[in-house]
Amino acid sequence: MQLPFEIFRDPRAMRAKAEDLRRDGRRIAVVPTMGALHDGHVALLRAARGKADVVILTIFVNPTQFGPQEDLSRYPRDEAGDIAKARAAGIDLAFCPDAAAMYPPGSQTFVEVRALQQPLCGASRPGHFAGVATVVAKLLNIVQPTRAYFGQKDAQQSVVIRRLVRDLNLPVEVIVAPTVREADGLALSSRNSYLTPEQRAAAPVIYRALTVARERFAAGERDAGALREAIRGALATEPGLSIDYVSVAEPMTLRELARVEKTALASTAVRLGATRLIDNLVLGAG
Amino acid sequence: MQLPFEIFRDPRAMRAKAEDLRRDGRRIAVVPTMGALHDGHVALLRAARGKADVVILTIFVNPTQFGPQEDLSRYPRDEAGDIAKARAAGIDLAFCPDAAAMYPPGSQTFVEVRALQQPLCGASRPGHFAGVATVVAKLLNIVQPTRAYFGQKDAQQSVVIRRLVRDLNLPVEVIVAPTVREADGLALSSRNSYLTPEQRAAAPVIYRALTVARERFAAGERDAGALREAIRGALATEPGLSIDYVSVAEPMTLRELARVEKTALASTAVRLGATRLIDNLVLGAG
């Protein structure tokens, strides 16, 4: 039975609707986003569609995960366009609250994933993952899905969310879907829209650098320091790019490795002008 | 339809059972405890029984809410006695996990109610309310109740839990039941069992001191400092007692008041020997 498409803005109304659906035995899948949907999001929506009775898209540009100097105010917003794309991908409902609905006066509870929120992006974005963990916990409680979909592009986010779901005993399965890339390898990101044509032309070096590490790993390199150096070396060929971090870490704990025994998460964050971009590849998987 | 009584120890099995019950349309009420049940707990169980299809008692002496110098190892434990009392009060199921089941290796997520966890008991028990908030969030996700019952004796705990339930959009109603007292006014607490006969004889001064504030308030006193002094003065009549704090605070924010406009939470924590006891009265309610 097809649900009439509806956009919910009130958390209580959304939760009441989700409770009704659950009571009717419907399996809910959710794709939490900050909007500005690209083909990576659409891939998540299609994956969700395959396994659920009801697919809910959430769009919420969450202020608590932005630092004071970050791009909250200029983050791209296009709700009508997003809803059109998502409906074409088969969603049933959307949840698009505003900040006042999600954080009414007096709000002060934060979910902290204490170790995993520290390294990598956490080091240059203090408070970011507490903001992410908190809003994801809230969204999951409101939407009450059996499955929640996230993209591998945000690797640390996925690890943080898997951990909080396990640690807080949330009744949801976390699905992490592969990164979707442009033809030249650049990982899709809503922030790619900030790039000037020159920066856009330089940006594929990020994926190429990670690919160098993957090739070195495939050729037998197991020294994590050498793999990090290989990534740094490849990134250095683009003079307009500055490196935030280059990491070869254990994929679950995100601890930097000295040697790669089986698998590793090779990841990097760079800046092209004012735009910060991240990407990663898992070495030794599959 | 009567459920066969069962004790669950595995969080996944408990959650699966709760999900089945919810799907069947049963309303679950939970009374989270650390065991050592007294008549205050029994009153919570009876209140829960009146409003739910399934009443679940949880017993878990939560290590993350005890400080390193506190009484975790000697906290009273009597599961068989607790279960007998609770079954007499009409519970359907019990959830009695051990610490390894609740905090498997790698656990690191904490729920922090940032402002409310700081004052009063939070000041002398750093980390206590993060431990409480975290375990309550976990228990609510495992047991999936529509109502959860707590005692007013732990006033700050109740405020913290109400706040986290609201802030994390948890689909549960928090019920706070009145403090149950001995005939001489001493609030029931599992920690009363630590008291020597002399300390037990001194302990009713705590309630008497709070009652002095209530009487002064009823007589028109609105200066919060004067009310705090009245409580301190009454407590000082017991030389074996030392004061941790005396507070006259706004009941929802727990901010100390200068004047009481409508209502206030008058609360205190004291030590009798090594035993720390707390109590409170709401001024101006009802």
- Does residue A2 surpass a pLDDT of 90? no
Q: What is the pLDDT of residue A72?
A: 96
Interchain contact A172–B (C-beta under 8 A): no
Active site residue A41: yes
ipTM, 2 dp: 0.96
Q: How many CB atoms lie within 10 A of CB B105?
A: 5
Q: Same structural domain for residues A171 and A197?
A: no
Which candidate in A8, A103, A111, A144 is best for mutational testing of the B interface (most B CBs within 10 A)? A111
- Among B17, B117, B132, B169, which would you mutate to test the A interface (most chain A Cβ atoms within 10 Å of its Cβ)? B169
- Is the CB of residue A162 less than 8 Å from the CB of residue A265? no
Position B92 in a domain? yes
- pLDDT tens sequence for chain B (286 residues): 678 999 999 999 999 999 999 989 999 999 999 999 999 999 999 999 998 999 999 999 999 999 999 999 999 999 999 999 999 999 999 999 999 999 999 999 999 999 999 999 999 999 999 999 999 999 999 999 999 999 999 999 999 999 999 999 999 999 999 999 999 999 999 999 999 999 999 999 999 999 999 999 999 999 999 999 999 999 999 999 999 999 999 999 999 999 999 999 999 999 999 999 999 999 998 6
Does B66 lie in the same domain as B199? Answer: no
CA distances to A225, A245, B84 from A221, in Å:
10, 20, 62
How far is the CA of B133 from the CAs of A127, A253, B129, B138, B176, in angstroms?
Answer: 19, 24, 6, 9, 16
Determine the Cα–Cα distance for residues A58 and B86; give it in Å rounded to an integer.
Answer: 42
Of B15, B108, B168, the CB nearest to A114: B108
Instruction: Judge whether residue A1 has pLDDT over 70.
Output: no
Q: Is residue A185 part of a domain?
A: no
Tell me the C-alpha distance between B59 and B85, whole Å: 13
Looking at residue B26, its amino acid is R
Establish if B113 touches chain A: CB-CB under 8 angstroms: yes
- The residue from B156, B177, B198 where one domain ends is B177
What pLDDT shows up at residue B286? 63
Res. A168: pLDDT tops 90? yes
pLDDT score, position A285: 79
Q: Are B55 and B31 in contact (CB under 8 A)?
A: yes
What's the CA gap between B240 and A12, in Å, rounded? 51
Angle between helices B11-23 and B128-143 (to 10 degrees): 50
Together in a domain, B194 and B276: yes
Task: Examine the domain organization and report whether A163 and A204 are in the same domain.
Answer: no
Q: Are residues A167 and A198 in the same domain?
A: no
Cβ neighbours, 10 Å, residue B171: 18
Task: Examine the domain organization and report whether B79 and B149 are in the same domain.
Answer: yes
Length of chain A: 286
* Structural domain boundaries, residue A219: 190-283
B250 within some domain: yes
Q: What per-residue confidence (pLDDT) applies to A286?
A: 62
User: Who among A114, A138, A166 is closest to B169 (CB)?
Assistant: A138
Which residue among A41, A85, A147, A163 is the active-site one? Answer: A41
Chain B nearest CA to A66, separation (Å): 18
Q: Is residue B185 part of a domain?
A: no
Q: Does A248 lie in the same domain as A163?
A: no
Distance (Å, whole) CA B236 – CA A235: 70
Residues A172 and A226 in one domain: no
pTM of the model: 0.97
Q: What is the CATH number of the domain that holds B235?
A: 3.30.1300.10
Confidence of residue A51 (pLDDT cuts 50, 70, 90): confident
Let me know whether B127 and B12 are in one domain.
yes
Is A184 a domain residue?
no
**Which residues from A are below 8 Å from B64, CB to CB?**
none
Domain final position from B177, B202, B218: B177
Is there a single domain that holds both residue B109 and residue B242?
A: no
Biggest CA-to-CA distance, chain B: 58
Residue A273 forms part of a structural domain: yes
Instruction: Write out pLDDT tens, residues A97-150.
Output: 999 999 999 999 999 999 999 999 999 999 999 999 999 999 999 999 999 999
Give yes or no: residues B85 and B207 share one domain.
Answer: no
Give B87: exposed, middle or buried? Use CB within 10 Å, 0-12, 13-18, 19+. middle
Domain count, chain B: 2
Nearest by CB to residue A164, choosing from B109, B112, B252, is: B109
Give pLDDT, residue B51: 87
For residue A211, tell me if it sits in a domain.
yes
CATH of the domain at A127: 3.40.50.620
Residues A80 and A155 in one domain: yes
Q: Is residue B198 part of a domain?
A: yes
d(CA A129, CA A119): 10
Chain A residues whose CB is inside 8 A of the B138 CB are 167-169
Q: Do B111 and A114 touch (CB under 8 A)?
A: no
CA nearest to B104 within chain A? A167
- Looking at per-residue pLDDT, the higher value among A286 and A59 belongs to A59
**What was the pLDDT predicted at B285?**
80
The catalytic residue among B41, B85, B147, B228 is B41
